[in-house]
């Protein structure tokens, strides 16, 4: 699971929701979200399913109503890394 967490964290940090990291937030800013996402996703999940999981987690923590399509790019990156 540690490897899965690091893969998810890498791409969630690159996404930098609300540019929090770029504005000086600590490097562990998205660790809680990344950990929850990494626990919920499975290697066999589709890109769409991964995007839905990311959306659900970020919507919960940031009180948002984002559609899964908002997170398709990061979901694709995570899925590709899982397949390596």
pLDDT digits (tens, 9 = 90+) for 4-49: 999 999 999 999 999 999 999 999 999 999 999 999 999 899 999 9
HSE of 26, CA atoms in CB hemisphere, 13 A: 4
How many helices, marked H, and strands, marked E, lie in the chain? Answer: 4, 0
pLDDT at 2: 57
In this predicted structure, what is the pLDDT of residue 1? 52
**Is residue 10 a contact partner of residue 34, using CB atoms and an 8 Å limit?**
no
Determine the length of the chain.
Answer: 84
The residue range of the domain holding 57 is 2-82
Q: HSE of 82 in the Cβ direction (CA atoms, 13 Å)?
A: 21
CA 16 to chain centre: 10
* Domain containing residue 56: CATH number: 1.10.340
Domain count, the chain: 1
pLDDT of residue 43: 85
């Amino acid at each position: 699971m540690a490897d899965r967490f690091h893969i998810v964290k890498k791409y969630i940090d690159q996404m930098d929701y609300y540019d929090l990291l770029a504005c000086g937030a600590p490097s562990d800013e998205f660790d809680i979200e990344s950990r929850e996402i990494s626990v919920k996703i499975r290697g066999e999940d589709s890109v769409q399913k991964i995007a839905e999981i990311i959306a659900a987690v970020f919507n919960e923590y940031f009180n948002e109503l984002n559609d899964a399509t908002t997170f398709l790019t990061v979901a694709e990156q995570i899925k590709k890394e899982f397949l390596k």
